[in-house]
Amino acid sequence: MRTVRVLVRGRVQGVGYRYWTERTAGDLGLTGWVRNRIDGSVEAVFSGRAADVDAMIARCQHGPRSAVVASVDVTDEPESRAPGFEVLPTG
């Protein structure tokens, strides 16, 4: 199991990035959350099998079709066992 916090910068708000993240993480069987940040970035926490988390990180490099990703910063976090995946309010 692996849990990471991801910060995605670029044109990632107003392009469906959060909902793409929710759907993609669900397809990979990951748990966690995603939210827009006031600074214009998108922040997410992904938890699951290490290979699936790595696959999600790779997909975040591109995001949905309308996104333009400038960078993806990844930080390992303590393991999380929260159920499901949710979209949180902007923080």
For range 25-53, the mean pLDDT: 97
Over residues 7-21, the pLDDT tens digits come to: 999 999 999 999 999
Query: How high is the pLDDT of residue 91?
Result: 77
Burial class (CB in 10 A: 0-12, 13-18, 19+), 69: middle
Query: How high is the pLDDT of residue 83?
Result: 79
Which residue of the set 11, 23, 36, 49 is catalytic?
A: 36
Q: Return the percent helix, strand and coil in the chain, to nearest 5.
A: 25, 40, 35
Q: What is the architecture, at CATH level 2, of domain 2-77?
A: 2-Layer Sandwich (3.30)
- The question of whether 18 is a catalytic residue gets the answer yes
Which residue of the set 5, 9, 11, 18 is catalytic?
A: 18
- The question of whether 37 is a catalytic residue gets the answer no
* Residue 4 in this model has a pLDDT that exceeds 80: yes
Instruction: Report residue 41's pLDDT band, with 50, 70 and 90 as the boundaries.
Output: very high
Instruction: Report residue 36's pLDDT band, with 50, 70 and 90 as the boundaries.
Output: very high
Query: How high is the pLDDT of residue 79?
Result: 80
